[in-house]
Amino acid sequence: MKKELLIASALVTTLGAASVANAVTATMSGGHHTGIRGTDSDSSTTDSVAQVTQSSFTVSLSETTDGGVGIASSFMLANESTSGLQTAGLTLTFTDGSKLDVIKAGNAAAGHDVSVPGGAGEASITVTTTNKAQTGLDFFAEATAIGLEWHSAADFMADGLKVSASLSVDDNVAADSSVELESGWGVGATYVTSAGDTALTIGAGYADSEWKDSGTDPSSPSNGFHIGFSAVTGDLTIAAGFASGDKVATTPEVEIADNSVSKIGLKYVAGDVTISMGYTDAAGADSTTLGTAGSDDDAQEILDAGIAYAVASGVTANLGYKNVDSQDEGIAETSGGTSWYIGANMAF
């Protein structure tokens, strides 16, 4: 019995020591949005006023080796656009300031698009599913989960310059009756400088990908570029961006050729109040027959604005407005409209 107690004691001590030695640093962050959203669709049958609730909770894990290399990852519990557990890959941070993302690394072009101000809160209008005009500056930047992305340290080859490059390969998911992303690569750069009292940021990226299909291969796989700038003078921010390229969408299976996106926005901070507005113009010719280019444009024209008020530390009251004009196959249609939102965001 004495021998068994000694063994048990040694085992507990060893496990306790191991758990302490192997413990990484964990931090938590997240947010909770709650409010009321109203929609006034161009099709009167879908007008509504409803509560909007979105929450997120993220745990970030990190540790540093004896050699000074940082190792980090994270996971998210959320009920926002995608519910359930969302996980990140691994990020290695080296002593020279450069980083390497491995597993679910993403596309380098997506990390360098300039943030253009828009509305506030959760004002939203959903257009018809057949309208495939892409409205984001990085709509073409895709990657499989099996890939790498390298980020340079700050001031790479020039003061204020950071660059990234990524590559992802086939994850062997079968195309079956639809298309599947086979591989993708991307590059991007951000340059920060000043001109008098103005802080200027310029961002650009390029990406390309290949797709596989059980039938006809897409004639215009996802590829394209974006470029944009942001100028901050005191409390005023003005930003603009442009993107152009092709896109393969999977739900439903569609090719979108020559899609272009233009964005411009401004933001002004007056004490605890932030006023913002933005404009987006996007259009692209889609085709439901892979290998055949579309002839008529889908399009979206979006105007959004908002006021955010910092009520307390981590608590923001939001008032938002959005108007969307939608065009499907070259014809104005009724899935656009206006939306308003009033609510609060609590972040930690």
- Checking if the pLDDT of 176 tops 70, the result is no
The DSSP call for residue 111 is G
| Mean pLDDT to the nearest integer, 264-270 | 97
| Whole-number Å distance between alpha carbons of 245 and 254 | 14
Which of the two residues, 226 and 335, has the higher pLDDT score? 226
C-alpha span between 328 and 133 (Å, rounded): 9
Domain ranges of the chain: 26-347
Chosen CATH of 26-347 out of 2.40.160.10, 2.30.40.10, 1.20.810.10, 3.10.20.30: 2.40.160.10
* Distinct helix (H) and strand (E) counts, the chain: 1, 18
181 pLDDT band (50/70/90 cuts)? confident
The Cα angle at residue 261 between residues 258 and 262, in degrees rounded to 5: 140
Report pLDDT for 6.
36
Structure confidence at residue 177 (pLDDT): 66
Residue 317 to residue 274: CA distance in whole angstroms: 10
Q: Is the pLDDT of residue 84 over 70?
A: no
- Classified as helix, coil or strand, 109 is helix
The answer to whether residues 276 and 289 touch, using CB atoms and an 8 Å cutoff, is no
Q: What is the pLDDT of residue 10?
A: 37
The yes-or-no verdict on residue 217 having pLDDT over 70 is: no
Average pLDDT over residues 313-324: 95
Give yes or no for residue 131 having a pLDDT over 70: yes
Tell me: cis bond preceding 218? Omega within 30 of 0 counts: no
Cβ neighbors of 107 (< 8 A, separation 6 or more) are 138, 141, 142, 143, 149, 166, 168, 184, 185, 186, 207
- Mode of pairing for the β-strands spanning 198-213 and 179-195: antiparallel
Q: What is the pLDDT of residue 314?
A: 93
**Closest Cα to residue 286, out of 334, 318, 312, 251?**
251
pLDDT digits (tens, 9 = 90+) for 279-307: 999 999 887 766 666 667 889 999 999 99
Considering only residues 220 and 258, tell me which one the structure prediction assigns the higher pLDDT: 258
| CA nearest to 283, candidates 134, 165, 155 | 134
pTM of the model: 0.83
Distance CA 267, CA 275 (A): 6
Torsion of CA 18, 24, 27, 30, to 10 degrees: -100
28-32, 67-71, 179-183, 294-298: range with lowest mean pLDDT = 294-298
pLDDT band at 45 (very low <50, low <70, confident <90, very high): low
Mean pLDDT value of segment 258-286 = 95
pLDDT confidence band for 322 (50 / 70 / 90): very high
> Mean pLDDT, the chain, as a whole number?
86
Instruction: Supply the pLDDT for residue 227.
Output: 98
pLDDT, tens digit, 9 for 90 and up, residues 235-259: 999 999 999 999 988 766 788 889 9
Residue 164 has pLDDT above 80, yes or no: yes
pLDDT at 82: 55
Instruction: Provide the pLDDT for residue 20.
Output: 43
Q: What is the pLDDT, as a whole number, of residue 261?
A: 97
Res. 211 pLDDT band, cuts 50 70 90: confident
Given a contact cutoff of 8 angstroms between Cβ atoms, the answer to whether 205 and 113 are in contact is yes
Average pLDDT of 189-210?
95
Q: Mean pLDDT over residues 171-195, rounded?
A: 86
Instruction: Select the more confidently predicted residue: 87 or 134.
Output: 134
Our CA angle for 194, 280, 221, nearest 5°, is 95
